């Protein structure tokens, strides 16, 4: 191994323990880390420092993003991945923006009713656990395409940190140790070949290595796309599929390609919102939510007041109902993007809004809402030139399908559950859908991931996004409003407690402690059902300040860290 890489790694590990840069106490801090020109905010201190090291040696935001994506697959395998997919929103220093869709797709052998029994009933957990839950992974192709178009450093230098971390090892945080210990049983049930590290009892601070994964990254480093979609890695993946009667074939891997797409753009007052189009619902839904509330005096209502939460909820109810009906992969279904993102349409939808009365959601049935929120991960990067990257990437559930490509050391997603497996039947996030998001070969399942970049008066203002399934959209929505309407710093906006509603089930969820007894009572009197829960979202964001500096907002709900220079 090259000496420079060892030095880099030593620095990374040192940084990861350096609490002066950490944001452990973010619930009380008013501002996040302030830097002169560059910032990386991710869900894991080591990944943040990998990104910073790439920027410090002259890499741009896309270079850093590639290195962060791969490092997260090693140090944060809850969600960081090469066996999953995601979305990138990119805005360069001149204000030109694009998006990259590296979402998973359904294998060619997938079909509409593949999770139903002969009587047409959903077979429990078939779309969530095991080999049939897996969509064709997109992350490696996504990173390759992003690098081809915008990268400046050699590919090998961006993959190397992941190899080093996986080979030399790194200390596990408490959260990760608990996560590994929690999934051991389901790994045992679903796999016959699992790298030994997944079977140990882990404690905070133990050093973990991922040697099979390191070999996979060596192939990705040396052979690029072919290092994952062909040759040994592909063979291991297909063998795993055959063993567990999964559907992914070599043809599926050959046919997988990420897609550059025009962003969904809209304005809110003098802010420009640049965000993700389908197959994510996130960008359209965020646009609709903002257009629904733009004409109201939010500031006067007060942050998390009963009137504010009521208004946000009423907008959410209408927008998530549209999501269920109209949103899906636009390469397969004619999504009425233009109409859904027209201000007049959303204003009209709010005509039935009553300032003190809840509009009951049509009761089609309600879902089981997944309460954890660290199974997807978002990171935000701004480089010294002012180029910005927002990436949200996922395996879907924590550790995805729990299927490990043992010989290649990586975990496969369970993204197929994001399709509507039967009209009106809620997925693991309680989201319902129908025709627009029905399963078809080669189709991409609908997402809620909402990587977003915001401009203010034409200049870069914010880079943000979140994990959290259905709550991603509302987490981004509230974080934006916290800055735009309530003048919060980036850190305050990230820290502020959140609420969430999604049409079905017909409830307002709120983070424990987010609302006072009085506010809860008022909302109940308006006719809302209230449900307190744990964390909602985990936003990692960057804000460009008026003095030209940057403020990082790392979410204290996780191990997240902002670093920069």
Separation of alpha carbons 534 and 513, rounded Å = 10
Q: Are 125 and 141 in contact (CB under 8 A)?
A: no
Per CB under 6 A, the list member of 35, 287, 346, 375 interacting with ligand DON is: 375
Residue 411 or 449: the one with the smaller Cβ distance to ligand DON is 449
When asked if residue 447 is in the footprint of ligand DON (CB under 6 A), the reply is yes
Residue 125 CB, nearest distance to ligand DON (Å)?
16
Separation of alpha carbons 229 and 251, rounded Å = 10
Q: Which residue stretch of 316-324, 334-342, 368-376, 556-564 sits at the interface with ligand DON (rule: CB under 6 A)?
A: 368-376
Residue 167 or 448: the one with the smaller Cβ distance to ligand DON is 448
In degrees, to the nearest 5, what angle opens at C-alpha 467 toward C-alphas 132 and 10? 100
Q: Are 86 and 142 in contact (CB under 8 A)?
A: yes
Separation of alpha carbons 16 and 10, rounded Å = 10
Residue 104 or 314: the one with the smaller Cβ distance to ligand DON is 104
Residue 383 CB, nearest distance to ligand DON (Å)?
26
Residue 426 CB, nearest distance to ligand DON (Å)?
14
Per CB under 6 A, the list member of 139, 387, 396, 478 interacting with ligand DON is: 396
When asked if residue 394 is in the footprint of ligand DON (CB under 6 A), the reply is yes
Per CB under 6 A, the list member of 227, 367, 468, 552 interacting with ligand DON is: 468
Return all residues near 177 (Cβ < 8 A) that are at least 6 apart.
202, 203, 204, 206
Write the CA distances from 150 to 65, 154, 217, 357, 544, integer angstroms: 11, 11, 21, 50, 22
Tokens 């449900």 belong to residue: 531
Q: Which residue stretch of 125-133, 370-378, 432-440, 542-550 sits at the interface with ligand DON (rule: CB under 6 A)?
A: 370-378
Residue 351 CB, nearest distance to ligand DON (Å)?
29
Name the catalytic one among 233, 376, 392, 489.
Answer: 376
* Chain CA centroid to CA 17, Å: 25
Residue 307 CB, nearest distance to ligand DON (Å)?
29
Structural tokens at position 260:
């550059």
Residue 361 CB, nearest distance to ligand DON (Å)?
20
Per CB under 6 A, the list member of 64, 65, 253, 472 interacting with ligand DON is: 472
* Chain CA centroid to CA 469, Å: 8
Residue 248 or 358: the one with the smaller Cβ distance to ligand DON is 248
How many C-beta atoms lie closer than 10 Å to residue 279's C-beta?
Answer: 30
Structural tokens at position 258:
């990420």
Q: Which residue stretch of 5-13, 294-302, 446-454, 504-512 sits at the interface with ligand DON (rule: CB under 6 A)?
A: 446-454
Per CB under 6 A, the list member of 418, 492, 551, 559 interacting with ligand DON is: 418
**Phi (first) and psi of residue 269, to 5 degrees:** 50, -130
Residue 417 or 551: the one with the smaller Cβ distance to ligand DON is 417
Separation of alpha carbons 509 and 429, rounded Å = 13
Residue 469 CB, nearest distance to ligand DON (Å)?
4
When asked if residue 373 is in the footprint of ligand DON (CB under 6 A), the reply is yes
Residue 418 or 492: the one with the smaller Cβ distance to ligand DON is 418
Burial bucket for residue 478 (CB in 10 Å: 0-12, 13-18, 19+) = buried
Q: Are 46 and 165 in contact (CB under 8 A)?
A: yes
Separation of alpha carbons 120 and 175, rounded Å = 40
Per CB under 6 A, the list member of 71, 215, 376, 482 interacting with ligand DON is: 376
Q: Is 376 a catalytic residue?
A: yes
Q: What is the DSSP letter of 416?
A: G
Binding site for ligand DON (CB under 6 A): 373, 375-376, 394, 396, 415, 418, 447-449, 467-469, 472
* Catalytic machinery residues: 376
């Amino acid at each position: 191994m090259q000496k420079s890489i060892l030095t880099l790694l030593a620095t990374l590990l040192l940084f990861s323990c350096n609490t002066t840069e950490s944001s452990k106490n973010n619930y009380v801090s008013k501002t996040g880390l302030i830097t002169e020109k560059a910032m990386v905010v991710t869900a894991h201190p080591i990944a943040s420092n990998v990104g910073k090291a790439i920027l410090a040696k002259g890499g741009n935001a896309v270079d850093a993003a590639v290195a962060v994506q791969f490092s997260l697959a090693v140090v944060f395998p809850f969600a960081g991945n090469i066996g999953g997919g995601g979305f990138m929103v990119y805005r360069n220093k001149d204000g030109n923006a694009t998006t990259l869709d590296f979402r998973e797709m359904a294998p060619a052998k997938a079909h509409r009713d593949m999770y139903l029994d002969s009587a047409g009933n959903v077979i429990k957990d078939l779309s969530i656990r095991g080999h049939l839950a897996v969509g064709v992974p997109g992350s490696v192709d996504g990173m390759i395409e992003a690098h081809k178009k915008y990268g400046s450093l050699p590919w090998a230098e961006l993959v190397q940190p992941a190899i080093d971390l996986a080979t030399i090892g790194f200390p596990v945080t408490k959260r990760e140790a608990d996560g590994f210990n929690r999934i051991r049983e389901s790994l045992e049930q679903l796999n016959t070949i699992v790298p030994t590290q997944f079977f140990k009892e882990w404690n905070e601070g133990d050093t973990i290595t991922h040697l099979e994964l390191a070999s996979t990254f060596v192939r990705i480093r040396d052979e690029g796309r072919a290092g994952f979609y062909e040759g040994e890695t592909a063979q291991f993946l297909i063998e795993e599929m055959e063993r567990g009667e999964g559907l992914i074939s070599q043809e599926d891997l050959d046919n997988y390609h990420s897609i550059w797409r025009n962003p969904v753009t809209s304005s809110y007052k003098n802010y420009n919102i640049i965000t993700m189009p389908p197959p994510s619902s996130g960008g359209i839904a965020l646009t609709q939510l903002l257009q629904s509330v733009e004409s109201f005096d939010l500031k006067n209502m007060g942050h998390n007041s009963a009137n504010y939460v009521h208004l946000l909820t009423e907008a959410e109810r209408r927008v998530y109902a549209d999501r269920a009906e109209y949103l899906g992969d636009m390469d397969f279904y004619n999504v009425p993007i233009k109409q859904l993102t027209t201000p007049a349409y959303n204003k009209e939808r709010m005509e039935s809004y009553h300032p003190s009365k809840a509009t009951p959601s049509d009761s089609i049935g309600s879902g089981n809402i997944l309460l954890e929120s660290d199974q997807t991960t978002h990171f935000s990067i701004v480089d010294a030139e002012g180029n910005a990257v927002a990436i949200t990437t996922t395996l879907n559930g924590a550790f995805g399908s729990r299927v490990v490509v043992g010989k290649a050391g990586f975990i496969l997603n369970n993204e197929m559950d994001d399709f509507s497996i039967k009209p009106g039947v809620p997925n693991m996030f309680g989201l319902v859908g129908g025709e627009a998001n029905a399963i078809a070969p080669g189709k991409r399942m609908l997402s809620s991931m909402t990587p977003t970049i915001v401009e203010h008066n034409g200049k870069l203002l914010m880079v943000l996004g979140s994990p959290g399934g259905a709550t991603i959209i509302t987490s981004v929505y509230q974080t934006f409003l916290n800055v735009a309407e309530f003048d919060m710093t980036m850190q305050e906006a990230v820290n502020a407690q959140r609420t969430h509603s999604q049409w079905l089930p017909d409830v307002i969820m709120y983070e424990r402690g987010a609302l006072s007894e009085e506010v809860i009572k008022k909302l109940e009197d308006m006719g809302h059902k209230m449900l307190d829960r744990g964390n909602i979202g985990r936003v990692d964001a960057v804000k460009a300040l008026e003095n030209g500096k940057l403020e990082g907002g790392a979410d204290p709900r996780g191990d997240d860290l902002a670093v920069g220079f």
